[in-house]
Amino acid sequence: MKRSQRWRWGGILLALMAMAGCSASHKKTATPEPIGMQLRRLDPQSRWTRYDVLLSFESESDRAFVVGDPAAGQVDARIAHAGQCGLFLPGGTRQIDIKLSSLLRGRKDIGEWTLAGAFVFADQPLIIHVAYWSGGKSWGGRAVPIPARQWTALFVDLTGVDRDAPAGVLQLRPEGSAAIHLDDVTLVDNRRVLVDSTTDGSGLEGWRIIRRGFAIDGDAPGRFRFALETPESAPNGWVIQQVNALRALFVSEDKTKTLCIYPDGRAYWDGNYRPMGSMERYGQAIAQQHDDPAEVQVLDEGGKLNRSTRGDANHDGYNECLGAYQLTAAGWRLQVRMTPRTARLVLPVLEIAGLPDGKVQVTVEGRLVDQWERLEDGSVLVVIPARLQRSTLIDIRVKGVD
Ligand SMILES: [Ca+2]
Ligand SMILES: [Ca+2]
């Protein structure tokens, strides 16, 4: 072979490598966003503190863990989710098996991971059915629409997986003829305790709300439990808007837009009272006071009953969607007089905007009560731990402010 021919062959070989392969010397102009950032964007609600990228396709050997049917995938440098390379699967691929069992060598099961998945990119829009298979059973199956030319997270919820089952296969079944790029096969632990007031020793009715996989699980021990799907698992799933020891608020794009739950079991679905668990202990009292809220008189100058909050259907200051009276303070203190319009006013809830920062002190007819929370927007949420049968003076003040 002449020297010029060798150069030419070498040049063609290099061009092919740059086009289809992944070499360490290959440079991309744009700096890829770190995978941790991408995972956070995928789920801004949760801090994805623990994740493990099992396959990044930066090495040819990563290909061995993915079986494409009918054609095997190729490590490819044209499009990558992170790093320089991804795995390319030609149009017409019917099934892609990612062998987590081999990747998790040394670990016999999927352990505490709550999500498994990868990022995919396609030239044309398509739907990919994804599920986790182990021991002849599948878990977390879902159909994910993949828009054209956009990296999309394709994850399954592992929380229901039998933890004794051996690690299995993550299976993707594309519906459509688009060619697919796959990158960053990742395990994630997105378990997050949103609130746990069951052990705070305050004597209040505690509850625990945990976000795990694509679900939100609530447990008020001995009283009620609830489970909500998040938008990743149901098209109109619930998004967490507020969770604390006194209240949880979820929103959805579905027909029912808001769900507000209190640890005592009160629940308001778009402003309709439909409690969790058994509410025998309150009888009809809460339903009655929801339909016929108490009269609230603000005694401080400048303070007022706020009649224009979102969810207050009839602008009377009692927000049906939140089951709470809406107040605005003009200074460090707010005094209100509540007069029941029903036989009893059970555990009324007040939400007060405009109070300065600091520790809040609440008294009912001079008696100190301790059920309040400072919300993210600075307002103060107070549950009056009483059954009021007559006009009652409630005083809310921020201590240490003159
Ligand atoms: Ca990569
Ligand atoms: Ca109202």
Average pLDDT, the chain: 87
In a shared domain, residues 129 and 157: yes
Task: Give distance in angstroms: CA of 147 to centre of ligand 1.
Answer: 20
Domain identity same for 293 and 352: yes
Q: 182 alpha carbon to ligand 1 midpoint, in Å?
A: 8
Instruction: Give me the residues near ligand 2 (ion), CB cutoff below 5 Å.
Output: 312, 314, 316, 318
The whole domain housing 259 covers 193-282
Indicate if the alpha-carbon torsion angle 187, 241, 386, 398 is positive or negative: positive
- What is the tens place of the pLDDT at every residue in 286-321? 999 999 999 999 999 899 999 999 999 999 999 999
- Domain end, chosen from 173, 189, 205, is at 189
Per-residue DSSP letters for 311-357? T-TTSSSEETTTTEEEEE-SSSEEEEEEE-SSS-EES-EEEEESPPS
* 8 within some domain: no
Average pLDDT over residues 28-37: 57
Confidence band of 165 (pLDDT split at 50, 70, 90):
confident
* pLDDT tens per residue across span 232-263: 888 789 999 999 999 999 999 999 999 999 99
How many distinct structural domains can be found in the chain? 3
Q: Ligand 2: distance of its center to the CA of 319 in Å?
A: 5
Give the CATH number for residue 90: 2.60.120.260
pLDDT band at 42 (very low <50, low <70, confident <90, very high): low
The radius of gyration of the chain from alpha carbons, rounded to an integer in Å, stands at: 28
Q: What separation in Å is there between the alpha carbon of 203 and the centre of ligand 1? A: 52
Residue 117, CA distances (Å) to 33, 98, 152, 217, 337 in order: 18, 9, 11, 22, 55
Tens digit of each residue's pLDDT (9 = 90 or more) over 336-352: 999 999 999 999 999 99
Q: Which ligand is closest in space to the CA of residue 291? A: 2
pLDDT at 162 over 80: yes
For residue 83, report the distance from its CA to the centre of ligand 1, in Å: 4
| Distance (Å) from CA 364 to ligand 2 centroid | 23
In a domain, 383, yes or no: yes
Does residue 155 lie in a domain region?
yes
The last residue of a domain, from among 167, 189, 211: 189
Residue 7 lies in a domain: no
Expressed in angstroms and rounded, the spacing between residue 238 Cα and the centre of ligand 2 is 24
Given 157, 174, 189, the domain boundary residue is 189
Q: CA 80 to CA 355: how far, in whole Å?
A: 50
Q: Same domain, yes or no, for 313 and 342?
A: yes
- In the reported structure, the alpha carbon of residue 323 is separated from the centroid of ligand 2 by a whole-number distance in angstroms of 9
Whether 14 shows a pLDDT value over 50: the answer reads: no
| Helix, coil or strand: residue 98 | strand
Concatenated DSSP letters of 249-290: EEEESSSS-EEEE-TTS-EEETTEE--SS--GGGTTHHHHHH
Report percent pLDDT > 70 for the chain. 85
